[in-house]
Structures are given as structure tokens and as C-alpha cells.
Amino acid sequence: MLSASQSIGAVAYQCYVHFEDNNVVFEGIIALADFVGYGFTYVNFKLNAEKIKSCTEKMSSVFQKFCGEHVLMEAEQEVKLVTKALLFYTCGGVVINSVLPMLEFKSCQETRVSDYYRIHDPCGMPVRTWYPFDSTQTGQYYFLVILHAYTCLAIASTVLCITMTLVGLMIHIIAQLRYLQYCILHAFDFDIDDPCLLRRKLHFCIQYHVTVINYATEVFGNFSLMLIVHVSLTSLVMGSLCFQIVYAENASDKLRFMLHLGGWVTMLFITCYYSQQIINESVSVADAAFDSKWYNAPLSSKRCLILIMMRSQKPLKLSAASVTVLSLQSFLLITKTAYSYFTLLLSMEQ
């Protein structure tokens, strides 16, 4: 909260006291968006923590009776791979974002318009701030550097953990949908002369399908509200970061803003990508039913298959508080909105 208040102070000083540097305003807006997004997501995650914990704990017990252990293990391997890649990017981005401003300290001092800024808006920080005291004193300065580095790490790691919790659950749902398709596709390969055995196979597939639908609906409901951040803030932050990249005065600032932009884009894309995968796989259940050897089955079995196909016409969708469905199409719309903000800022600057 201390870091957030200083970003607010920097923006307030420019807007209400003396407007001298628009970079302060843009960096402040980006920082505030980070804080708001982090706070909103964290609070909603904590409110649903018990429900989310229940979803993760019961996943194995719910699906183990339908699929083999190898299905769960393969999905878990993909979760670990994605998590490691994002963790590497996050840690590297936080380190670079904290260290580069320190390395550019001298050049930063030259860009400050007055000694007032050098005292109250010290160089070496990852974001422009305003402190109501002399922040250049050694003890206070290094305390602020550590505080900002810790804040960046806390925000980035928390958002990463929440995102990967959702993405991990979605990867497991995708794995279950694919195995369900396999079961349906090969349901009529053998024992089609035994109506009782064939009926048990189809009832198994129907129960499996209902279980996946109920589990996915429960997971999506727990994360729905916190995903509103992607719809409301991401496009504004992406547009502002693109503007900062264009007008940054040195290469180190451009690199920091590019890494920051990459983080927002990655979190949005990975959520939309796996959400799109769930949409595709849930619809493909009907395709698996149609591609099976249903024509060799008795009429009663065909009717069971029709039930599966009818339910598969309604895809599973991850929505952001019922505002929009997250998919690759929504990813494209958000990036288009970000580009609109970017071009608007460029026209205002010119």
C-alpha cells in the first residue's frame, strides 16, 4: 500500500500542483493498474480459497474412476512445464525491472527537470514516485529500493500463482475431455453383440461427461469474477505500455516496459488459449460420438449416444463475470482495444 500511495502522489502532483513530466502520469497509471488488478484478484481469490482448494483436492478422486492414472500424470506434466516457463519469465522480469533503474542512475539524474524531483522522486526506482521527504538520504533510499523490489516480486508472484492455479485446472479439464472422446469413439469397437455390456459402456460415458461438465462449471464459477481484470484493465495497461516503449529515452527503459507488456500479454493469452481449448474439446465430444461405429449398435444405444451429442452442442465456456467469454476471439478484441488506446495516446502526444 505504501508503494501504491507514492505512485498516486506522483500522479496527483503532476495533475494538481505542477504538470512538468507526462512520463510520471503514464508510469503512475500503469503502476496503479497493477495494484488495482493485484488487489482485486487477490481479494476474490481469498474469498473463494476454500472452494478452489476443494476443486484441486478432489480432482484425482473425481476423475480417477473414469480415466487411468496416466491421463492425470500427463496433464500434470504439462502444468509443471508451463509453470516453470512462466516462473522463469516472472523472476527474470522482476530482477531486470529492479536492477536496470539502478544501473541507469546517472543518466536518470540528468533527465530530472529540477532538484525537487531528484529529492522527492529519486532515480533507481522501477516506477516514478513522490515522497514527502528527502528520499536521497542513504538509509531511506535503500529502504525504498528494497521496498519497491519486494512489491514487484509480491505482485508478480501472486498473479502468477493465481493464474497458474486456474490454468492448471483447465489443463486437467482438457485432458479429461480428450479421454472422454477416446472412450466414446471406441465404445462400439468391441462387444456390440452384448446389449448389456454396451449399455454399461454408454452409461459410463454419459456419467463421465456429466462429471466433467459439473467440475468445469464449478471451477469456472470460482474464478469468474476475478477474470474481470482482463476485460477492464488489460487493454488500458497494454496501450499505455506500448506508448511508453515508443517514447522511452533509453534502451533500458524500453526493455523494462517490453518485459512488463510481455507479462500482461502472456497472462491474458495463456488464459484465453486454454479457455479456447476447452470450448473446442467440449464441442468435439459430439464429433467423437458421430465418428464412432454407432451404426452397428442397437437402437437403445443410439439413443444414449444422441443424449451425449445434444449436450455437446453447448460448449463449456470460461466467462469473466458474465461480461464476456474468454477465448482467442476475446484476446484479439482486447488487443485491438489496446491498440486503439495506443493510437489515441500517440495522437494526443503529437
Grid coordinates belonging to 88:
522463469
Question: Average pLDDT for residues 57-78, to the nearest whole number?
Answer: 90
What confidence score (pLDDT) does residue 149 get?
A: 85
| Residue bearing cell 538520504 | 137
Number of neighbours of residue 18 by Cβ within 10 angstroms: 11
Q: Would you say 282 and 179 are in contact if contact means Cβ atoms under 8 Å apart?
A: no
What confidence score (pLDDT) does residue 279 get?
A: 96
What confidence score (pLDDT) does residue 197 get?
A: 79
First vs last C-alpha separation in the chain: 35
Whether residue 49 is predicted with pLDDT greater than 90 in this model: the reply is yes
Whether residue 215 is predicted with pLDDT greater than 70 in this model: the reply is yes
**Confidence band for 8, pLDDT divided at 50, 70 and 90:** low
Question: Average pLDDT for residues 115-127, to the nearest whole number?
Answer: 76
Query: Which of 52-56, 202-206, 345-349 is most confident?
Result: 52-56
**Confidence band for 192, pLDDT divided at 50, 70 and 90:** low
What confidence score (pLDDT) does residue 233 get?
A: 87
Domain that holds residue 330: 22-349
Residue 71: inside a domain: yes
- Number of independent structural domains in the chain: 1
What percent of the chain is helix, strand and coil (3-state, nearest 5)?
80, 0, 20
Q: Between 349 and 232, name the one with better pLDDT.
A: 232
94-117 pLDDT per residue, tens: 999 888 888 887 877 777 767 776
Q: Which candidate, 137, 103, 89, places its Cα nearest to that of 260? A: 89
Query: Which of 80-94, 186-200, 293-307 is most confident?
Result: 80-94
Residue 46: inside a domain: yes
What confidence score (pLDDT) does residue 7 get?
A: 61
Residue 6: inside a domain: no
Q: Which candidate, 182, 183, 181, 163, places its Cα nearest to that of 171? A: 163
Residue 212: inside a domain: yes
What confidence score (pLDDT) does residue 2 get?
A: 47
Compute the distance between CA of residue 173 and CA of residue 180 in angstroms, rounded to an integer: 10
The mean-pLDDT minimum among 68-82, 235-249, 258-272, 286-300 falls in 286-300
245-254 pLDDT per residue, tens: 998 878 888 9
Q: Would you say 96 and 189 are in contact if contact means Cβ atoms under 8 Å apart?
A: no
What confidence score (pLDDT) does residue 20 get?
A: 58
Whether residue 193 is predicted with pLDDT greater than 80 in this model: the reply is no
Residue 11: inside a domain: no
Residue 12: inside a domain: no
Could you give the residue ranges of the DSSP H alpha helices within the chain? Answer: 2-16, 22-47, 49-63, 69-103, 105-111, 115-120, 138-185, 195-223, 228-232, 234-247, 251-291, 299-311, 328-349
Question: Average pLDDT for residues 23-49, to the nearest whole number?
Answer: 84
In whole numbers, what is the pLDDT of the chain averaged over residues? 85
Grid coordinates belonging to 174:
482438457
Residue 41: inside a domain: yes
Whether residue 13 is predicted with pLDDT greater than 70 in this model: the reply is no
Residue 1: inside a domain: no
The mean-pLDDT minimum among 21-25, 166-170, 328-332 falls in 21-25
Say whether pTM exceeds 0.75. Answer: yes
What confidence score (pLDDT) does residue 162 get?
A: 93
The mean-pLDDT minimum among 12-26, 28-42, 270-284 falls in 12-26
Whether residue 143 is predicted with pLDDT greater than 60 in this model: the reply is yes
Q: Between 194 and 254, name the one with better pLDDT.
A: 254
Whether residue 265 is predicted with pLDDT greater than 90 in this model: the reply is yes
Q: Between 122 and 43, name the one with better pLDDT.
A: 43
Question: Average pLDDT for residues 138-150, to the nearest whole number?
Answer: 84
